[in-house]
Amino acid sequence: MMATEKNKQLEALTFWQLPIQYKPLEGGMTNSNFRVEHGDKIYFVRLGEDIPEHGVYRFNELAASRAAFSCGISPEVVHQESGAMVLRFIEGKTLKSENLRDHSTMEKVVTLLKKCHFEMPQYLPGTTLIFWVFQVIRGYANTLRKGQSRMIPELSRFIEINKKLEKTVGAVDIRFGHNDLLFGNFIDDGLRLWLIDWDYAGFNSPLFDLANLASNNEYAEILEKQLLEMYYEKAVSPDLWKRYFAMKCASLLREAMWSMVSEIHSTIDFDYVQYTSENLDRFENTYANFNKL
């Protein structure tokens, strides 16, 4: 959708009772986001349809966003209609990777994650998606083959690695996960942290959120072990470390394959080829270290 069409869609939302002033917000790789002034109130608006090739369904995002507000970790959804969601705007600072490597911030993030994992299901409807990264990777491989991706020659190897990683992770506890812990999805309002953007939310292993957080924000090994100790409240055993490491590899492979799929399907103005390359390099380095365990 072109910028002018997005503007028209935003202006046409039935929520507005007064003239609005708005500006686009940077950083979205899946949605188009806006800061909107409506009278004396400020709102955050996300424009985006379902994205089946990525498993993004707006009914699920809406349910997760409402549940996250109900347990106090995300802003309130005040309006929803086809292709759009309006939330209360959080005045604050979007975090950077280096912020998420600060020990005190890590403790706050763990508190947020535990609320997500253990409290959000109380507020969710009976039908909610699951996000099993190994199945996501298998689905991406099928999508890439059908789309004649430039990466087709690599897919058989990725699927074999995926099998190995899934076997290593083994049986898991099932919790409700955010599943997209990029630094831009955390906001610090000066008093507390907020967790936003529930596009990929679904039931999963807590290991994925922990590995995703660490891999997206380039934690050193000592920070990774501190993160696991904070979350599980015990020392990190060799078995937990290996299972976590396998999940980290899967997180990086999924991110790279997400970008490969976006190369052939997304209309967002973003350099997905470069993003694919960066994430593949990080995956290969991490997988090489996994094989040394």
The domains of the chain, with CATH numbers, are 3-88 (3.30.200.20), 94-290 (3.90.1200.10)
CA distance linking residue 235 with residue 251, whole number of Å: 23
Question: Is the dihedral angle over the CA atoms 261, 262, 267, 271 positive or is it negative?
Answer: negative
CA distance linking residue 59 with residue 65, whole number of Å: 10
What is the value of pTM for the model shown?
0.94
Q: Residue 229: in which H helix or E strand, if any?
A: helix 221-232
At position 165, the amino acid (one-letter code) is L
In sequence order, the 6+-apart residues with CB closer than 8 A to the CB of 111 are none
Other beta carbons less than 10 A from residue 213's beta carbon: 25
CA distance linking residue 187 with residue 181, whole number of Å: 12
State the Rg of the chain over Cα: 19
What is the predicted pLDDT for the residue at 179?
A: 98
Cα separation values, 193 from 68, 73, 95, 223, Å: 13, 8, 9, 19
Residue environment code for 48-58, b if the CB has 16+ CB neighbours within 10 A, otherwise e: beebebbbbbb
CA distance linking residue 233 with residue 100, whole number of Å: 19
- pLDDT tens-place values along the chain, 293 residues long: 456 888 999 999 999 999 999 999 986 667 889 999 999 999 999 999 999 999 999 999 999 999 999 999 999 999 999 999 999 999 999 999 999 999 999 999 999 999 999 999 999 999 899 999 999 999 999 999 999 999 999 999 999 999 999 999 999 999 999 999 999 999 999 999 999 999 999 999 999 999 999 999 999 999 999 999 999 999 999 999 999 999 999 999 999 999 999 999 988 788 999 999 999 999 999 999 999 99
